[in-house]
Structure 1
Amino acid sequence: MPVSSDIVATYKGPRRAYARILGMGQREDRALMILMAGCLIAFVARWPALARQAHMTGDDLNMLLGGALMALLFVAPLALYAIAALSHIVAKALRGQGDWYGARIALFWALLASSPLMLLNGLIEGMIGPGAGLQMVGFLWFAVFIWFWLSGLIEAESSN
């Protein structure tokens, strides 16, 4: 199934989508590609806001994009690996039965699956700027991300 179909399936039923992804077997290259795709989309989602900031303040857009690139494509993946490990340790303390790979896939897929809302948030931040609309879409993105992550973590930790 293409990634876009998997993302739509995640919005319809996150646990079923995670079960299907986990059923494909443990492949660390797949987990890394899911993570990097999510981080790349997060970087692209920042472009409109950074362009607005450069226009409004006179800052150099290339410097702003370079900083975002460094943060989202080099630092964020390391932080997300650490967060996934921490979530697995917490799940183990709560009698989870899963493994490290399942915890990583749950977090990484939540990031990628929630990316349409992340892109919408970036567009609103860049085109409209701060305000109630940006806060509502940002909250919606965060809520969906947490929903997907917890659903995936529950699925990953409930079966081995």
Structure 2
Amino acid sequence: MSVTTDIPATYRGPRKVFARLLSMGAREDRLLIFLISGCVLTFVAQMPKLAREAHLTGQELNMLLGGSLLGIVFIAPLLLYMLALAAHWLARAAGGQGDAYRARLALFWAFLAASPLMLLNGLVAGFIGSGAALNLVGALWLAAFLWFWVSGMIQGYWAKP
């Protein structure tokens, strides 16, 4: 299946999609594409909010976009790799039987699969601004991301093959 069909399928059954991704074999290039795609979509999601901020405060939009690009597309992947390693160590300490690839796949896929809600969050932040709606959409994104990540970790470290 393609990524565009896997993302909606993840909302219906994250463990099933994760198991299928695992069965495709360990490929670091696929993980890197998942991670960079999620980061680029997150950067795109920030654009409406940054445009609103630039308009309201009189700041230069290009400077805001440049800072966001640096942080999200270049620095965030490094932090996510470190987070995946820490998750692997925690899973192994808790008795999980998996390798670090599974932890990276679980985190990076969860980040990419939750990106539609991140895009919605960016639209709400750009058009409505801060408030209850933005908090609700942000909470939905966080809940979906954690659900996908934990489901992937369980499938990768504790599920029977």
- The answer to whether TM tops 0.5 is yes
Determine the C-alpha separation between the residues in 2 that align with 1:8 and 1:15: 13
Name the stretch that deviates more: 150-159 or 4-13: 150-159
Determine the C-alpha separation between the residues in 2 that align with 1:143 and 1:130: 19
* Alignment match, 1:98: 98
Deviation at 1:29, TM superposition (A): 0.4
- Give the letter for the 1:5 counterpart: T
Deviation at 1:2, TM superposition (A): 1.1
Tell me the TM-score normalised to structure 2 length.
0.98
Determine the C-alpha separation between the residues in 1 that align with 2:122 and 2:153: 27
Determine the C-alpha separation between the residues in 1 that align with 2:70 and 2:57: 21
Q: Which runs of 5+ in 1 are unaligned?
A: none
Deviation at 1:31, TM superposition (A): 0.4
* Alignment match, 2:37: 37
* Alignment match, 1:136: 136
Q: SS at the partner of 1:98? A: coil
Q: How many residues align?
A: 160
- Cα RMSD of the aligned pairs, angstroms, is 0.8
Structure 2 residue 156 is the aligned partner of structure 1 residue 156: yes
The one-character-per-residue Cα deviations of 1:9-52 (angstroms, maximum 9, x if unpaired) are: 10010000000001100000000000000000000000000000
The one-character-per-residue Cα deviations of 1:41-89 (angstroms, maximum 9, x if unpaired) are: 0000000000000000000000000000000111000000000000000
1:72-91 equivalences under 5 Å are 72-91=72-91
Determine the C-alpha separation between the residues in 1 that align with 2:69 and 2:12: 32
* Alignment match, 1:62: 62
- Give the letter for the 2:50 counterpart: L
Determine the C-alpha separation between the residues in 1 that align with 2:110 and 2:27: 17
Determine the C-alpha separation between the residues in 1 that align with 2:148 and 2:59: 36
Determine the C-alpha separation between the residues in 2 that align with 1:140 and 1:10: 15
1:106-145 equivalences under 5 Å are 106-145=106-145
Q: SS at the partner of 2:143? A: helix
**Percentage of matched positions with identical amino acids:** 58
* Alignment match, 1:13: 13
Deviation at 1:158, TM superposition (A): 1.7
